[in-house]
Protein backbone atom coordinates (compact mmCIF):
# COMPACT_ATOMS: atom_id res chain seq x y z
CA UNK A 1 0.00 0.00 0.00
CA UNK A 2 2.83 2.40 0.80
CA UNK A 3 4.24 2.08 -2.72
CA UNK A 4 0.80 2.79 -4.18
CA UNK A 5 0.52 5.94 -2.08
CA UNK A 6 4.01 7.01 -3.13
CA UNK A 7 2.92 6.60 -6.75
CA UNK A 8 -0.12 8.87 -6.35
CA UNK A 9 1.41 11.80 -8.32
CA UNK A 10 2.19 9.49 -11.24
CA UNK A 11 -1.29 7.99 -11.00
CA UNK A 12 -2.74 11.48 -11.39
CA UNK A 13 -0.52 12.09 -14.44
CA UNK A 14 -1.68 8.85 -16.01
CA UNK A 15 -5.29 9.68 -15.14
CA UNK A 16 -5.02 13.04 -16.91
CA UNK A 17 -3.65 11.30 -20.01
CA UNK A 18 -6.55 8.82 -19.91
CA UNK A 19 -9.06 11.64 -19.53
CA UNK A 20 -7.57 13.59 -22.43
CA UNK A 21 -7.90 10.56 -24.70
CA UNK A 22 -11.37 9.51 -23.53
CA UNK A 23 -13.85 9.01 -26.37
CA UNK A 24 -17.02 10.57 -25.04
CA UNK A 25 -20.12 11.48 -27.02
CA UNK A 26 -22.38 14.52 -26.57
CA UNK A 27 -25.77 14.08 -24.93
CA UNK A 28 -28.69 14.10 -27.37
CA UNK A 29 -30.82 16.02 -24.88
CA UNK A 30 -30.01 18.95 -22.65
CA UNK A 31 -28.63 17.67 -19.35
CA UNK A 32 -30.75 18.90 -16.45
CA UNK A 33 -29.12 16.97 -13.61
CA UNK A 34 -26.29 14.59 -12.81
CA UNK A 35 -26.32 11.35 -10.84
CA UNK A 36 -23.11 9.55 -9.83
CA UNK A 37 -23.35 5.94 -8.64
CA UNK A 38 -20.45 4.33 -6.78
CA UNK A 39 -19.50 2.82 -3.44
CA UNK A 40 -16.40 2.56 -1.29
CA UNK A 41 -13.12 3.42 -2.96
CA UNK A 42 -14.95 3.69 -6.28
CA UNK A 43 -17.61 6.04 -4.93
CA UNK A 44 -15.69 8.47 -2.74
CA UNK A 45 -14.45 10.33 -5.81
CA UNK A 46 -18.05 11.24 -6.63
CA UNK A 47 -18.60 12.63 -3.15
CA UNK A 48 -15.43 14.71 -3.27
CA UNK A 49 -15.97 16.02 -6.80
CA UNK A 50 -19.62 16.92 -6.15
CA UNK A 51 -18.51 19.16 -3.28
CA UNK A 52 -15.51 20.69 -5.04
CA UNK A 53 -17.59 21.79 -8.04
CA UNK A 54 -20.78 22.63 -6.12
CA UNK A 55 -20.35 26.38 -6.57
CA UNK A 56 -19.52 26.06 -10.28
CA UNK A 57 -21.62 23.20 -11.67
CA UNK A 58 -24.53 24.43 -13.78
CA UNK A 59 -26.78 21.47 -12.86
CA UNK A 60 -27.48 19.78 -9.52
CA UNK A 61 -25.31 16.77 -8.68
CA UNK A 62 -26.51 13.82 -6.60
CA UNK A 63 -24.30 10.96 -5.44
CA UNK A 64 -25.84 7.54 -4.87
CA UNK A 65 -24.31 4.82 -2.71
CA UNK A 66 -26.87 2.06 -2.91
CA UNK A 67 -28.96 -0.21 -5.10
CA UNK A 68 -31.49 2.36 -6.29
CA UNK A 69 -31.58 5.61 -8.25
CA UNK A 70 -33.71 8.72 -7.64
CA UNK A 71 -37.05 9.10 -9.39
CA UNK A 72 -35.80 12.22 -11.20
CA UNK A 73 -33.33 10.18 -13.29
CA UNK A 74 -34.57 10.25 -16.89
CA UNK A 75 -33.48 11.00 -20.46
CA UNK A 76 -32.23 14.42 -19.37
CA UNK A 77 -29.98 12.99 -16.67
CA UNK A 78 -26.26 12.32 -17.04
CA UNK A 79 -25.52 9.17 -15.04
CA UNK A 80 -21.92 8.27 -14.21
CA UNK A 81 -21.32 4.68 -13.16
CA UNK A 82 -18.11 4.35 -11.13
CA UNK A 83 -16.98 0.84 -10.24
CA UNK A 84 -13.27 0.08 -10.16
CA UNK A 85 -13.71 -3.70 -10.44
CA UNK A 86 -16.79 -3.41 -12.61
CA UNK A 87 -18.52 -5.94 -10.38
CA UNK A 88 -19.91 -3.84 -7.53
CA UNK A 89 -23.31 -5.37 -6.79
CA UNK A 90 -25.12 -2.19 -5.82
CA UNK A 91 -23.68 -0.15 -8.68
CA UNK A 92 -24.60 -2.80 -11.25
CA UNK A 93 -28.24 -2.66 -10.16
CA UNK A 94 -28.21 1.15 -10.28
CA UNK A 95 -26.66 0.93 -13.75
CA UNK A 96 -29.41 -1.34 -15.05
CA UNK A 97 -32.09 0.93 -13.58
CA UNK A 98 -30.52 3.96 -15.28
CA UNK A 99 -30.43 2.10 -18.60
CA UNK A 100 -34.17 1.45 -18.28
CA UNK A 101 -34.73 5.17 -17.67
CA UNK A 102 -32.79 5.91 -20.90
CA UNK A 103 -30.37 8.26 -19.14
CA UNK A 104 -27.22 9.51 -20.87
CA UNK A 105 -24.54 7.30 -19.31
CA UNK A 106 -20.78 7.22 -18.86
CA UNK A 107 -19.01 4.31 -17.15
CA UNK A 108 -15.66 4.45 -15.35
CA UNK A 109 -14.23 1.01 -14.66
CA UNK A 110 -11.26 -1.31 -15.13
CA UNK A 111 -13.49 -4.00 -16.62
CA UNK A 112 -15.87 -6.58 -15.15
CA UNK A 113 -19.62 -6.64 -15.70
CA UNK A 114 -19.87 -2.86 -15.98
CA UNK A 115 -17.56 -2.87 -19.01
CA UNK A 116 -19.41 -5.83 -20.52
CA UNK A 117 -22.83 -4.22 -20.13
CA UNK A 118 -21.48 -0.91 -21.43
CA UNK A 119 -20.09 -2.66 -24.51
CA UNK A 120 -23.40 -4.40 -25.24
CA UNK A 121 -25.43 -1.23 -24.69
CA UNK A 122 -22.87 0.96 -26.51
CA UNK A 123 -22.43 3.26 -23.52
CA UNK A 124 -19.57 5.72 -23.18
CA UNK A 125 -16.81 4.08 -21.14
CA UNK A 126 -13.50 5.21 -19.71
CA UNK A 127 -11.25 2.25 -18.91
CA UNK A 128 -8.81 2.71 -16.04
CA UNK A 129 -5.96 0.38 -14.97
CA UNK A 130 -7.04 -2.48 -12.70
CA UNK A 131 -5.38 -4.92 -10.33
CA UNK A 132 -5.08 -2.82 -7.17
CA UNK A 133 -7.37 -2.09 -4.20
CA UNK A 134 -10.03 0.42 -5.35
CA UNK A 135 -9.17 2.82 -2.52
CA UNK A 136 -5.60 3.06 -3.83
CA UNK A 137 -6.82 4.23 -7.24
CA UNK A 138 -8.83 7.32 -6.30
CA UNK A 139 -6.66 9.40 -8.62
CA UNK A 140 -8.05 7.57 -11.64
CA UNK A 141 -11.75 7.81 -10.81
CA UNK A 142 -11.58 11.33 -9.33
CA UNK A 143 -9.86 12.67 -12.43
CA UNK A 144 -12.20 10.96 -14.90
CA UNK A 145 -15.22 12.48 -13.16
CA UNK A 146 -13.79 15.94 -13.72
CA UNK A 147 -13.10 15.20 -17.38
CA UNK A 148 -16.65 13.90 -17.87
CA UNK A 149 -18.13 17.02 -16.26
CA UNK A 150 -15.84 19.20 -18.35
CA UNK A 151 -16.75 17.42 -21.59
CA UNK A 152 -20.45 17.93 -20.94
CA UNK A 153 -19.82 21.58 -20.01
CA UNK A 154 -21.17 21.14 -16.50
CA UNK A 155 -17.94 22.76 -15.30
CA UNK A 156 -15.23 24.73 -17.08
CA UNK A 157 -11.93 23.16 -18.13
CA UNK A 158 -9.86 25.06 -15.58
CA UNK A 159 -9.68 21.85 -13.55
CA UNK A 160 -6.99 20.59 -15.94
CA UNK A 161 -4.49 23.21 -14.85
CA UNK A 162 -5.51 22.71 -11.23
CA UNK A 163 -4.85 18.96 -11.45
CA UNK A 164 -1.39 19.59 -12.86
CA UNK A 165 -0.72 22.14 -10.12
CA UNK A 166 -1.85 19.54 -7.57
CA UNK A 167 0.74 17.06 -8.81
CA UNK A 168 3.47 19.67 -8.54
CA UNK A 169 2.26 20.61 -5.06
CA UNK A 170 2.35 17.13 -3.52
CA UNK A 171 5.68 16.33 -5.17
CA UNK A 172 7.26 19.53 -3.86
CA UNK A 173 5.74 18.94 -0.42
CA UNK A 174 6.67 15.23 -0.22
CA UNK A 175 9.11 15.54 2.68
CA UNK A 176 6.77 17.83 4.61
CA UNK A 177 3.80 15.55 3.97
CA UNK A 178 5.60 12.48 5.29
CA UNK A 179 6.92 14.43 8.27
CA UNK A 180 3.46 15.72 9.17
CA UNK A 181 1.97 12.28 8.58
CA UNK A 182 4.39 10.77 11.09
CA UNK A 183 3.56 13.48 13.61
CA UNK A 184 -0.21 13.01 13.27
CA UNK A 185 0.18 9.23 13.40
CA UNK A 186 1.85 9.50 16.80
CA UNK A 187 -1.06 11.57 18.08
CA UNK A 188 -3.68 9.12 16.76
CA UNK A 189 -2.00 5.92 17.92
CA UNK A 190 -3.98 4.20 20.64
CA UNK A 191 -6.89 6.61 20.20
CA UNK A 192 -10.24 6.67 18.44
CA UNK A 193 -9.95 9.31 15.70
CA UNK A 194 -12.68 11.89 15.16
CA UNK A 195 -12.34 13.97 12.00
CA UNK A 196 -13.90 17.36 11.34
CA UNK A 197 -14.01 19.45 8.17
CA UNK A 198 -16.14 22.26 6.80
CA UNK A 199 -18.91 21.72 4.26
CA UNK A 200 -17.01 21.56 0.97
CA UNK A 201 -14.28 19.31 2.39
CA UNK A 202 -16.57 16.73 3.97
CA UNK A 203 -15.72 14.28 1.19
CA UNK A 204 -12.06 14.62 2.10
CA UNK A 205 -12.90 13.88 5.74
CA UNK A 206 -14.91 10.83 4.68
CA UNK A 207 -11.98 9.63 2.56
CA UNK A 208 -9.64 9.97 5.55
CA UNK A 209 -12.09 8.07 7.75
CA UNK A 210 -12.42 5.29 5.20
CA UNK A 211 -8.65 4.99 4.84
CA UNK A 212 -8.25 4.69 8.60
CA UNK A 213 -11.05 2.09 8.63
CA UNK A 214 -9.56 -0.08 5.89
CA UNK A 215 -5.82 0.51 6.13
CA UNK A 216 -5.36 0.92 9.88
CA UNK A 217 -8.30 -1.35 10.83
CA UNK A 218 -9.76 1.24 13.21
CA UNK A 219 -13.19 2.61 13.98
CA UNK A 220 -13.21 6.31 13.18
CA UNK A 221 -15.81 9.06 13.13
CA UNK A 222 -16.29 12.23 11.14
CA UNK A 223 -18.64 15.19 11.05
CA UNK A 224 -18.94 18.46 9.20
CA UNK A 225 -18.93 22.06 10.39
CA UNK A 226 -21.31 23.89 10.76
CA UNK A 227 -23.76 20.95 10.93
CA UNK A 228 -22.05 19.37 13.95
CA UNK A 229 -22.65 22.57 15.89
CA UNK A 230 -26.35 21.70 15.85
CA UNK A 231 -25.98 18.23 17.39
CA UNK A 232 -22.62 16.50 17.94
CA UNK A 233 -21.08 19.36 19.90
CA UNK A 234 -23.53 18.53 22.70
CA UNK A 235 -22.43 14.90 22.55
CA UNK A 236 -18.94 15.90 23.61
CA UNK A 237 -20.29 15.89 27.16
CA UNK A 238 -19.45 12.16 27.05
CA UNK A 239 -16.06 12.70 25.39
CA UNK A 240 -12.82 11.33 26.77
CA UNK A 241 -9.05 11.43 26.34
CA UNK A 242 -9.34 8.21 24.33
CA UNK A 243 -10.63 10.32 21.43
CA UNK A 244 -8.16 12.16 19.18
CA UNK A 245 -9.57 14.98 17.04
CA UNK A 246 -8.27 15.97 13.62
CA UNK A 247 -9.58 19.19 12.06
CA UNK A 248 -8.99 20.00 8.40
CA UNK A 249 -8.34 23.74 8.20
CA UNK A 250 -8.25 26.05 5.19
CA UNK A 251 -6.60 29.47 5.21
CA UNK A 252 -9.33 30.68 2.83
CA UNK A 253 -12.20 29.33 4.91
CA UNK A 254 -15.36 31.39 5.38
CA UNK A 255 -14.84 33.58 8.46
CA UNK A 256 -17.93 32.34 10.29
CA UNK A 257 -16.76 28.74 9.96
CA UNK A 258 -13.34 29.69 11.32
CA UNK A 259 -15.03 31.32 14.30
CA UNK A 260 -17.06 28.16 14.87
CA UNK A 261 -13.94 25.99 14.77
CA UNK A 262 -12.19 28.10 17.40
CA UNK A 263 -15.22 27.93 19.71
CA UNK A 264 -15.53 24.18 19.08
CA UNK A 265 -11.91 23.67 20.08
CA UNK A 266 -12.52 25.38 23.41
CA UNK A 267 -15.46 23.07 24.10
CA UNK A 268 -13.63 19.91 23.04
CA UNK A 269 -10.52 20.78 25.07
CA UNK A 270 -12.59 20.27 28.21
CA UNK A 271 -12.83 16.56 27.38
CA UNK A 272 -9.65 15.71 25.47
CA UNK A 273 -6.31 17.45 24.91
CA UNK A 274 -5.82 15.51 21.69
CA UNK A 275 -6.67 18.08 19.01
CA UNK A 276 -4.64 18.28 15.80
CA UNK A 277 -5.15 20.75 12.97
CA UNK A 278 -4.12 19.95 9.41
CA UNK A 279 -3.85 23.04 7.24
CA UNK A 280 -4.45 23.05 3.50
CA UNK A 281 -1.84 23.95 0.91
CA UNK A 282 -2.43 25.04 -2.66
CA UNK A 283 -4.56 27.71 -4.32
CA UNK A 284 -7.61 25.98 -5.80
CA UNK A 285 -10.10 23.74 -4.03
CA UNK A 286 -8.84 20.82 -6.12
CA UNK A 287 -5.22 21.41 -5.04
CA UNK A 288 -6.24 21.65 -1.40
CA UNK A 289 -8.35 18.49 -1.61
CA UNK A 290 -5.59 16.45 -3.25
CA UNK A 291 -3.11 17.68 -0.65
CA UNK A 292 -5.47 16.63 2.17
CA UNK A 293 -6.17 13.27 0.51
CA UNK A 294 -2.49 12.45 0.00
CA UNK A 295 -1.57 13.44 3.55
CA UNK A 296 -4.49 11.44 4.95
CA UNK A 297 -3.48 8.38 2.94
CA UNK A 298 0.02 8.57 4.37
CA UNK A 299 -1.31 8.87 7.91
CA UNK A 300 -3.53 5.82 7.44
CA UNK A 301 -0.73 3.57 6.19
CA UNK A 302 1.75 4.77 8.83
CA UNK A 303 -0.90 4.15 11.48
CA UNK A 304 -1.34 0.64 10.08
CA UNK A 305 2.40 0.04 10.38
CA UNK A 306 2.46 1.32 13.94
CA UNK A 307 -0.45 -0.96 14.84
CA UNK A 308 1.20 -3.93 13.15
CA UNK A 309 -1.65 -4.58 10.71
CA UNK A 310 -1.66 -5.24 6.97
CA UNK A 311 -3.10 -2.17 5.20
CA UNK A 312 -4.02 -4.21 2.10
CA UNK A 313 -6.03 -6.98 3.77
CA UNK A 314 -9.84 -6.57 3.94
CA UNK A 315 -10.88 -10.17 4.70
CA UNK A 316 -14.11 -9.19 6.42
CA UNK A 317 -15.33 -7.39 3.27
CA UNK A 318 -14.38 -10.42 1.17
CA UNK A 319 -16.30 -12.62 3.62
CA UNK A 320 -19.37 -10.39 3.33
CA UNK A 321 -19.30 -10.50 -0.46
CA UNK A 322 -18.84 -14.27 -0.36
CA UNK A 323 -21.84 -14.72 1.92
CA UNK A 324 -24.00 -12.44 -0.23
CA UNK A 325 -23.04 -14.37 -3.37
CA UNK A 326 -24.59 -17.50 -1.86
CA UNK A 327 -27.99 -15.91 -1.33
- Does the annotation count 230 as an active-site position? yes
Q: How far apart are CA 313 and CA 304, in angstroms?
A: 11
- Does the annotation count 265 as an active-site position? no
**Which of 122, 175, 230, 326 is the catalytic position?**
230
Q: How far apart are CA 38 and CA 146, in angstroms?
A: 15
Q: Which of 315, 282, 308, 304 is nearest to 193 (CA)?
A: 304
Collapse the DSSP code of 173 into the 3-class scheme (helix H, G, I; strand E, B; otherwise coil) and give the result.
coil
**Which of 153, 158, 269, 321 is the catalytic position?**
321
Other CB atoms within a 10 A radius of the CB of residue 129 amount to 13
Q: How far apart are CA 103 and CA 261, in angstroms?
A: 42
Cα distances from 160 to residues 155, 166, 167, 233, 260, in angstroms, run 11, 10, 11, 39, 33
**Which of 51, 202, 214, 287 is the catalytic position?**
214
- Does the annotation count 214 as an active-site position? yes
Collapse the DSSP code of 101 into the 3-class scheme (helix H, G, I; strand E, B; otherwise coil) and give the result.
coil
| Active site members | 214, 230, 321
Amino acid sequence: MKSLIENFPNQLREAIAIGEKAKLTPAKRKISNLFISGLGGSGIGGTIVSELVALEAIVPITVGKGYFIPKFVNENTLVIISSYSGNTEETLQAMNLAIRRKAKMVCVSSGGQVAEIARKKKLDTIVIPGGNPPRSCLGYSFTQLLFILGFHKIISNKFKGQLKASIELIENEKKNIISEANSVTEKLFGKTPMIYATTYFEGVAIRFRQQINENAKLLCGHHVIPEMNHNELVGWASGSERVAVVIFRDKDEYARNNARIEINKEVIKKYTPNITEIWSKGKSQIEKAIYFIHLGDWISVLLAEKRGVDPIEVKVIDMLKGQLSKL
